[in-house]
Amino acid sequence: MNFLNLPLVSWVNGTIMIGIFVLVVIGLVTAIFLLMKTDKKAK
């Protein structure tokens, strides 16, 4: 009956995936702002 001591929910995998997702979103937003800054308007 040792298998009953296992946790029902493991938050480690979800936390890592959310952290990676946040890093990707921050990178994309930073890239968009850099592209907006360096964009030169055509006359």
- At residue 43, the pLDDT reads 62
Question: What is the average per-residue pLDDT within 22-41?
Answer: 91
Q: What is the DSSP letter of 8?
A: S
The pLDDT of residue 11 is: 81
Q: Alpha-carbon distance 24 to 18, whole Å?
A: 10
Does 38 score more than 90 pLDDT? no
Report the distance separating Cα 16 and Cα 8, nearest Å.
18
Please, what is the end-to-end C-alpha distance for the chain in angstroms?
A: 77
